[in-house]
A and B are shown apart, each in its own frame.
Chain A
Amino acid sequence: MTDSKEMILEVRDLCKEYPSFRLENVTFSVPKGSITGFIGRNGAGKTTTIKSVLNLVHKKSGEIRFFGLDLDSHEKEIKERIGYAGGAIDYYKKKRIRDLIAVTKRFYEHWDDEACRKFMNAFELSEEKMPSELSEGMKVKLNLVLALSHGAEFLILDEPTSGLDPISREELLDVFEALRKTGVSILFSTHITSDLDKCADRIVYIKEGRILASDAMDRYLSDCKAAGYGETLEEVMLHFEKKEFSFGAPESTEQPL
């Protein structure tokens, strides 16, 4: 078991209730230096969990700690050290990127202009453009630039690869891998199992608002294989999630000849 001091994120018994959906005692952790894939089918509770973790939705109960600090009492300090991207950038789409950066940087004590320029160049982004002029993949990269320029140690990404073409997805996963090598930890949600095959070393699997697994990827897959659930993540997911559909087709009224 990893010591709690090495945990970037610890979520314990997180509960959140909506009229038709609820998170039940969601518990998982993200170790430092890992790329953790947060997987589950659409509507399983990935976004609700991430929004709860970021204090964007009001949790019913539970404990959330970043870097060993409680979110409720250290919100400002924690936000200085993390970055969030909900897929493509979806705010101030009609403002120039230059203005967005100029405003955003004032809030971060450790904003690094040099790093910002470096990432803008690496991602081939122009400050003169507006987010509305960017492709979906470029919007995700802009979000990453904003997060990385303030030296975020931990990135939380909600379905960053959804809607991207295969090349952009591949590029983005390469970026994750490169970031891990610089010491950045990543939690990213997805319903695309091949994203995790490519770069994740840990998995948190959520189904219908409950955590099914929170483990090292290799160990989880070998356990599933031994239990006969499947050999790949896709097979495991199909084992747990696949439903048989019956639409009540009327019985044939034809009489045999």
Chain B
Amino acid sequence: MNSRPPLSTASFRERALAGARYAADIIPPDTVLAEIVRSPHTHARVKRIDSRATLAVPGVLAVLTAEDFEGIRLGHLCADEPILSSVARYFGDGIAAVAAKDRQSLMRGIEALRIDYELLPHAITIDDALASPVAIHDFCADNIAEKFQAVRGDWQAINSRVALWVENTFETAAIPHAYLEPRACLVRVDGKRLELVCGSHAPSMMADFYRPIVAGWGSQLEVVTPAIGGSFGAKWEHPSQLVCLLFAQRLQRDVAMVLSRRDDMIAGRTRAAMRIRMRIGATAEGELVAKETTLWCDNGAYSLHGPAVMKAAAIRGDNLYRFSAIKADAQLVYTNNMPSECFRGFGITQSTFALEQLIDELARRLKLDPAKLRLSNTVREGDTAVHGWKIGSCGIADCLDGISNRIDRHRRDNALPRSERYRTGYGLAAFIHCIGNRGYDKRFDRAFVTLRTLPEGGIRISSGEVELGCGTVEVLIKTVARELATNRDQLEVVLGDTATGPHGMGSYASRTSFFVAMAALDACRRFKRAAEQMRVEFGMTKPAEIGELVARARQQQRLGDLEVTGDYQPSGVVVPDETGYGNISAAYTFGAHGCCVQVDTYTGKVTVTQYWAAHDAGTIVNLNETQGQVIGGVIQGLGFALTECASVAESGQLLNPGYLDDRVPTFPDAPPVEVLFTDTYEKKGPAGAKTIGEPPIIPVPACIANAIRDAVGVRVYQLPMTSERLWRAINDDDARSGPKGN
């Protein structure tokens, strides 16, 4: 039994009014505090840990080391991350953990800990790791965690059709997720039951993963999700949670860990850095024919979702265009960097930086308008795309038209005298994205929504999906209020509570709004059926108000009959084959972005002066929130494009664990963003809706890169495109010749 009432999930309004409570806000004052003690070495074997002095510090309660987590590894796709490690594989890898009754005892305890290491040679670049004789993991001698290959089409036949190839090598940077709420978790103990309270975008999946581990300690586990201060793909399984769980289980006391900003950034998860060699071939008339990709993905020290991110980057973006032939060859490489993790766009954000620049370059070479070149090559409704995606509603043409018109008008209205120093340019980039990914979990891709009539009145909507800032609460309330013709104030939403709600896959693959709304519609149908049955039974003649019916049901102790669970599973989707072929999603989203940049050629400084984002997200359910999601994604992309980077010294030490030197854009950096939506209607979606989610960040770096090329005639093939890099490119005659091609 759950002893506490479930925590209702804060809406946008409550968040805006500072009413939301995050994990760190919920920690009671007498809670035991824990910290992970991290390695200052990039690659080192732990020889000895001396915790005697630590345990002698008054107030210190326990110390954990690798031995306490023997045989336990994190990683859905490749279980290779220890909770505490006997080998430090990156600067900041967790070696030991200390729990104490208060912060000061904890800090004294940590300072008293002695760890002896044997230093090992480290590899922090992909090339070093591939060349290194030193294996980062014993089971992987060549440091290649995984390989992926896909070949489609007739490569013999295409050679005669391709009149022009454009090719280049692009590099993207590792960047932290830069959520506002640093990692925090609280474990509450209730006998054998452990309750993990932490902001996560996939609480049920975390519970699935942790339950067998916790069961091995003789305990049960539930996960509760308070307000989440951003995740962007980072906040799921993390060693800090299992450390708190084990301390709580051993000490039989509530235990909490709140990371400081710096430690959160060192404790590491980043976007996977990639090197992408890509070429695309087209006919002389501009018909896209073939694409070949060779990709190296920096996995960091541990795999997390690395294999899936690498595969997505290698092929997913191809589905936007009618390529006849595709080759992809990708490697996931272990390095002594922070572990990489999925991050808004799941690898496609990285590869779009390459693909959309090559398309732009192709248009330039063929002297075609870049929007028109795209328009004549994109998939259309009814197509089966090159990797098996079955295209339903598709608003890409409207998006490209919209952006193209905006750019033309802006160019016309803002004609400036040509300045020697400042140059202006326009860029455009497009993308395709999915709504859920049947391939993510081999078991299923589905969502549930439970409606429960509460004894005190009102209806509780619960789901294992979460409110990540995508407006899940609003989607649920709007859907249920409309379907059941009830007032919003009669509805309470509880998300991500495994003890009281149904299972949920979590917020990834831009799936949440679509899936919860479909499941809510199903739940409402079931609810109405149950209510109708009850009305007949009670002999109520005319269609009753819900309130009246509930009152009768309560009198007769029949409220349980008004508890229903709706379910949604997309139809026609499959787990893709090992080459990534298959229709993974019920519907697909599209978009195109455009921007105007001003480049200071003396310093290389880029200022984005105007941005346009056109999205096909189906019917828009919440206009304000959807616009907000788009603008947020664009600004996040601006940082990825121009300023953000995890700077790592040759020693492997992270040089910028903070927002001073990890330059996430600030408000003054944000350009005006005009958001456009197509009026696409998706038959398979809830009331015609699709989703917004990840897409707004995907085309941003390529869009800005194309505008820079337009302004100054050169490209910076490496993210972030800093002032210095662009200044060098402008002053480098070789760079002016553009991408290699035949």
Are these two chains actual partners, yes or no? no
